[in-house]
Amino acid sequence: MRRTQRERALEQGREKDQVFLTLIEAKAPYEERRRALLALEKQWVREAKTEAERQQIRRGISEDLVTLAYSFNRPWAEFGRCLRHVQRLGFSNLALRVHIACLYVQSLHLFPRRAREAWEMLADAERRVRRLRRDNPLREEQLESITHAMAVTRVPRPSLR
């Protein structure tokens, strides 16, 4: 019996959640979690039927790696590598673009020299959200995320010079 792409994506989501729950319970270090994500990506890319499906898998894992790097307060060498990879692949959707931009701004205390770029990325995400129809329920949710990130960041927006 052939599974649809949606069914495979749901199954992969459950598999990833299970792997992460196991690693969290084991208090696994960053590197172990990173390797587990990359192993899942390798397996899923091998199983994917189309190039578009492979690209979506790569995007999703890359976005997860940025979140992982953020949650472990990784230095720019690691966080930046993950961020650049996501930027090269493109974002899966607007919500994840906002999520990554918010993480970038909130992590600036670790690499304040990146402030201009991070704030520009957040401003770009905000512009994209504001282009959504006002009755779109995701619009308000994403704007709240952006507002929260702006409020909790430790590095202020650089002046316009």
Quick one: pLDDT band at residue 147, thresholds 50, 70, 90? very high
Q: What is the residue range of 99's domain?
A: 93-161
Cβ of 35: how many Cβ atoms within 10 Å? 12
State the pLDDT at residue 1: 58
**36 lies in the same domain as 100:** no
**123 lies in the same domain as 45:** no
State the pLDDT at residue 9: 84
How far is residue 58's CA from residue 64's CA, in Å, rounded to a whole number? 10
Q: For residue range 54-93, list pLDDT tens digits in order.
A: 999 999 999 999 999 999 999 999 999 999 999 999 999 9
Could you give the angle at which helices 137-152 and 115-130 cross, rounded to 10 degrees?
160
Total-model pTM:
0.93
The distance between the two most distant Cα atoms of the chain, rounded to a whole number of Å, is 61
**75 lies in the same domain as 14:** yes
How far is residue 144's CA from residue 82's CA, in Å, rounded to a whole number? 25
Q: Are 118 and 104 in contact (CB under 8 A)?
A: yes
Give the count of domains, the chain: 2
**1 lies in the same domain as 78:** yes
